Amino acid sequence: DAMVIQNPRYQVTQFGKPVTLSCSQTLNHNVMYWYQQKSSQAPKLLFHYYDKDFNNEADTPDNFQSRRPNTSFCFLDIRSPGLGDAAMYLCATSRDRFGTGNTDTQYFGPGTRLTVL
Amino acid sequence: DAKTTQPPSMDCAEGRAANLPCNHSTISGNEYVYWYRQIHSQGPQYIIHGLKNNETNEMASLIITEDRKSSTLILPHATLRDTAVYYCIVSRYTGTASKLTFGTGTRLQVTL
């Protein structure tokens, strides 16, 4: 089945130690997103890629970076994790709006739960 | 961005219809209403979306009022597996991606 895959599902890192989370998709979607979801809160968009074009949200801290080496893969890099960065990180994809009206449905992966010690 | 308002929690007996309301009174004409659900420790699952017409798929029905200021998600025969947090979302297309404005969600508990 076509899907969005996130590895690892659980990640533990130390305060200040860089960490990378990965996302891959078999949907051949053009757009990939990264969200942060803290406990009992709704997901918050960090940034997205439209093809190779990176689009950052205005309030995303510089500590968060992303790479998309090809259509299938996207990485979230946290350069110096703080205790406040402990959260579930969600990857999502969408095809592109062309042919779907003025909207574009997002499909989420299972998430990576990050613990910062 | 348009905001949504949902009741924090609801209960539903298994086999009965679950009707989840949502207010989105500031929605703009080109913004869509989406519903996702999130089962504990998993990623949000897409359920259904609509612009102004009522929609139905294999999972649920979406009823949008004529003025588009509110909507109702209907799960026709709730099961225990439908226990989850349900998010009503307004989606705006920015030119490169859809931007989702999540509500606070309704925690639906389906009981025997």
Give me chain B's average pLDDT, please.
94
On the question of pLDDT at A97 being above 70, the answer is no
Q: How far is A21 from chain B (nearest CA, A)?
A: 15
Q: What is the pLDDT of residue A63?
A: 96
Residues in chain A closer than 8 A to B49 (CB atoms): 103, 105
- Chain A residues whose CB is inside 8 A of the B44 CB are 43, 90, 108
Band (pLDDT 50/70/90 cuts) for residue A82 is very high
Query: Per-residue pLDDT for A10 more than 90?
Result: yes
Per-residue confidence at B45, pLDDT binned at 50, 70, 90? very high
Task: Nearest chain A residue to B103 by CA: give it.
Answer: A42
The model's pLDDT over B55-105, given as tens digits with 9 standing for 90+, comes to 999 999 999 999 999 999 999 999 999 999 999 999 988 877 889 988 889
pLDDT band at A14; cut points 50, 70, 90? very high
DSSP string covering chain A: ---EEEE-SEEEE-TT--EEEEEEESS--SEEEEEEE-TTS--EEEEEEETTEEEE-TT--TTEEEE-SSSSEEEEEESS--GGG-EEEEEEEE--STTS-S----EE---EEEEE-
Contact B42 A48 (CB under 8 A): no
Q: Measured between alpha carbons, how far is A8 from A112 in angstroms, rounded to an integer?
A: 6
User: Which of B96, B99, B106 would you mutate first to test chain A, the one with the most A CBs within 10 A?
Assistant: B96
What's the mean pLDDT when you consider all of chain A?
92
CA–CA gap between residue A53 and residue A49 (Å, rounded): 5
Model confidence at A100: pLDDT above 80 = no
Determine, for residues B41 and A113 on separate chains, whether the beta-carbon distance falls below 8 Å. yes
**Mean pLDDT on A46-62:** 94
* pLDDT score for B1: 65
Interface touch B100/A4, C-beta < 8 Å: no
Q: What is the pLDDT of residue A38?
A: 95
Compare CB distances from A103 to B41, B49, B102 and report the shortest one's residue. Answer: B49
What pLDDT, on a 0 to 100 scale, did the predictor assign at position B30?
Answer: 87
Task: Work out the minimum CA distance from A80 to partner chain B, whole angstroms.
Answer: 25
The share of chain B scoring above pLDDT 70, in percent, equals 98
Q: What is the mean pLDDT of residues B27-39?
A: 93
Which of A4, A42, A103 is nearest residue B98 as measured by Cβ atoms? A103
